[in-house]
A and B are shown apart, each in its own frame.
Chain A
Amino acid sequence: MSHLFNKLGWFALAATGAFAFAFIALHLGESIGAIWIVVATVCVYTIAYRFYSQFISRRVLRVDPIRMTPAYKFNDGLDYVPTNKYVLFGHHFAAIAGAGPLVGPILAAQMGYMPGMLWLLAGVVFAGAVQDFIVLFISTRRDGRSLGDLIKSELGQVPGMIALFGTFFIMLILLAVLALIVVKALAESPWGTFTVAATIPIALFMGVYARFIRPGAIGEVSMVGFALLMMSIVAGQYVQEIPALAALFTLTGEQLTWLLIAYGFIASVLPIWLLLAPRDYLSTFLKIGTIVGLAIGVIFISPELKMPAFTQFVDGSGPVWSGSLFPFLFITIACGAVSGFHSLISSGTTPKMIRNESDARFIGYGAMLMESFVAIMALVAASTIEPGVYFAMNSPAAIIGSTAESATQAISQWGFYVTPEMITQTARDVGEHTIISRTGGAPTLAVGMAQILSDVVGGRSMMAFWYHFAILFEALFILTAVDAGTRAGRFMLQDLLGTFIPSMKRTDSIVASLIATAICVAGWGYFLYQGVIDPLGGINTLWPLFGIANQMLAGIALILCTCVLFKMKRDRFAWVTIVPATWVIVCTLTAAWQKIFDANPRIGFLAHANTYKEALADGTLLAPAKSLGQMQQVIFNDYVNTSLTCLFMLVLLSMLVFGVRTVLRARGAGGPTAKEAPFELLPAEAAPGT
């Protein structure tokens, strides 16, 4: 009887989901409430979790609930601690959720909400969550080892080194694009710049407090820090209104770039307890709190989606980023659908704390579904903004000019309704001088969030507060990532260089660390600067590079998963990872190819370089260059981008070759060849359900 009820329940859920999709499909031409999107996506997630992840867990991986886990085997109360699965879910989710799932969908909204939504759903169910889950499983069965180690032991030493090398460049591009988002959000915005600058002294104070005054009182120090942060947002408004102070905090993009580069260098050589750790407390808790707040807002307010389901820009002529739906949508939305970076987290601290193999499904697959939901909310937030205003905020000045009138004229020609008053009124509502060409996604999300959150608390008068709250929240965790990422990059670099120059490997040597840090900062600083001075907004160049890099890593992780399935002799089920791996690899390689060779200078790096070369031959100057030297620089940048994209393609292709070789060998072998830790029985106290 209960079996029947169970079946009826799932049938009802499926019917609800189908009804929500039908409702969305029947109202394509008009605006609908966000709740329909929420219902449709939650139904898809629930069904995928119940059926597909269970299939992967039981039939494909044959998860063994009595097998030893690293948490019990190496239990030390520190790194290896058997942890309750809900607590560990929170830890894992906090580690995978960041700026990525918030920015990608916002940029993708230029094609309408539908392409982004469909890719987020299909991508997470069949690619992203599968990758996270299987990598977590693989690492758990191998003493919680890291992705690089796993590739070395399952595919060979050389592919391991190649993967490590690729990861380092992803790090550089990631840091550059994240820093660019902050620069774009804070340029010419004294309120935003003041509040973000205020986080530095606040974090320093918290660091000293948690180190000496009340050692280890994380909760207490975070409350104090949070109160100070809120005060800094309020104070920011007064800073903006006092001309002398406003002038001090009104910085151009280039000034902010140099400040960020200096900040990145200094912050990453300071002791961790002083700045990095307290900043991490604030950004982690604020991130979780804001996501919960946004979910409550989206579900209870159910704001209306004003963006059409599809816009004419699916053909690739969009102003926010260029390139057609295939392949560029699939690299623009990385995090939230499938993100290679997660494979580093799934083979990081989480597998060392998992109590039981059977928890890997809930933590790996489940947390990724949750991240996808965060991305859906970001898409909703962007779609609730009037499309005309969305394009005014996200189109580069080179296309729409820099006044409300020129922007209105350009955007009206694309067929979106907008008036100069709408643009200036939005800027006034959020307490900024202008919102035109605030590219990078963060300001758009902030406007969307401010609209939703001010409906929950405070009304229109609170919109400016919520806008700057959202900017602060994003800048805070981006700056944490810049600091932590520069440190991680420095160690990776020392490790890599150490292979050739042994003295570079010494992480205790101050000279070696300073050199490695300087190289890292110079690396991401170069791409950041290039993005900031780009008249097409920088995002147009850097975000696809980041997407290609991230999906390249996803391709590598899925190749690893496929190899392991063949080595476990689960050939029958290998399609579970082969299908997403193929899709990710095809999208990444096509996008990379077009980024290099496309004839349109807005897409292809070489075509762009040629435009400048021809102009140079004619002796004319093209913006942003103001001298012949700068023209040379633009051409040089194009070649750097081309080389980097080539490098990503080569890394992915070589991993593919090594992967195929491994699979062929595994198929030739008589029995399983996976290099798992030997079977041991899990202690009785760790049985499931305890």
Chain B
Amino acid sequence: MLDKTTGIAKAACYVRQTLRLMVGVPPYSTYVTHMKNTHPDQPVMSYQEFFRERQEARYGGNGKVTRCC
């Protein structure tokens, strides 16, 4: 029973992650873990800063084409 609910929770988590990545936002927790592990000396962006940075990267330009016809 427990297995089943954790299975569903895991699947829901993946669905959520997929939908967020579709609009260009990777998991914030992965970013934080990455910064703590590899760059402990550097400041970590807050979620709000992270979100804005990602928006800017997806739509901000430099000629990147992020979608098709």
Contact = CB atoms under 8 A, between A and B. Distances in A.
B25 A96 contact: no
A671 interface: no
A492 B69 contact: no
Contact of B68 (A97, A216, A353, A491): A97
Contacts of B64: 146, 348, 488, 491
A414 interface: no
Interface in B1-43: 14, 16-27, 30-35, 38
Contacts of A344: 65, 68
Interface string A440-471: 00000000000000000000000000000000
A78 B48 contact: no
B26 A81 contact: yes
B54 to A, nearest CB: 7
B61 A488 contact: yes
How many interface residues does chain A have, given as a range? 35 or more
Nearest to A103: B69
A54 interface: no
Interface in A274-325: 276-277, 280-281, 284-285, 288
B69 A481 contact: yes
Given A84-B14, A88-B21, A75 B34 contact: yes
A95 B66 contact: yes
A288 B22 contact: yes
Contacts of B56: 272
A277 B55 contact: yes
B63 to A, nearest CB: 4
Interface in B38-62: 38, 47-48, 50-62
Contacts of B48: 215-216
Nearest to B38: A75
Nearest to A146: B64
B68 A95 contact: yes
Interface in A361-382: none
Interface stretch (A258-266, A335-343, A524-532): A335-343
Contact of A491 (B20, B33, B61): B61
Main secondary structure of the interface of A (DSSP, over half): helix
A91 B35 contact: no
Interface string A483-513: 0110110111001000000000001000000
Interface in A586-608: none
Contact of A285 (B19, B21, B38): B19
Contacts of A341: 65, 68-69
A348 B51 contact: no
Contacts of B14: 84, 86-87
A77 interface: yes
A177 B66 CA distance: 19
A374 to B, nearest CB: 12
B58 to A, nearest CB: 8
B34 to A, nearest CB: 4
B10 to A, nearest CB: 11
A83 B38 contact: no
Contact of A348 (B17, B18, B35, B66): B66
A364 to B, nearest CB: 14
Contact of A77 (B30, B51, B68): B30
Contact of B59 (A87, A484, A495): A484
A218 B60 contact: no
Contacts of B16: 219
A454 to B, nearest CB: 27
A469 B67 CA distance: 22
Nearest to A212: B48
B26 A488 contact: no
A273 B52 CA distance: 8
B21 A216 contact: no
Contacts of A216: 25, 47-48, 50-51
Contacts of B58: 277, 280
B53 to A, nearest CB: 7
Nearest to A495: B63
Contacts of B34: 75-77
A594 B51 CA distance: 50
Nearest to A480: B67
Contacts of A273: 52, 55
Interface in A505-554: 507, 546, 550
B66 A349 contact: yes
Contacts of A342: 68
Contact of A91 (B22, B52, B59, B61): B22
A203 to B, nearest CB: 13
Nearest to B60: A272
A69 B44 CA distance: 24
Contacts of A285: 19, 22
A491 B66 CA distance: 13
A514 B23 CA distance: 27
B19, B48, B51, B63 — most chain A CB neighbours (10 Å): B63
Interface string A598-642: 000000000000000000000000000000000000000000000
Contacts of B47: 215-216
Contacts of B63: 488, 491-492, 495
A218 B67 contact: no
Contacts of A174: 69
B23 A284 contact: yes
Contacts of B50: 78, 216
Contacts of A284: 22-23
B30 A81 contact: yes
B62 A491 contact: yes
Contact of B20 (A100, A218, A484, A550): A218
A393 interface: no
A638 to B, nearest CB: 25
A349 B24 contact: yes
A90 B52 CA distance: 22
23 contacts: A78-B54, A81-B31, A86-B14, A87-B17, A90-B19, A91-B18, A95-B68, A215-B47, A218-B20, A276-B59, A277-B55, A281-B23, A335-B68, A335-B69, A339-B69, A344-B68, A488-B61, A488-B64, A490-B61, A491-B63, A507-B61, A507-B62, A546-B69
Given A78-B31, A277-B58, 16 more contacts: A77-B30, A81-B27, A87-B18, A215-B48, A216-B25, A218-B23, A272-B59, A276-B59, A285-B22, A335-B68, A345-B66, A348-B65, A481-B69, A485-B65, A487-B59, A487-B61
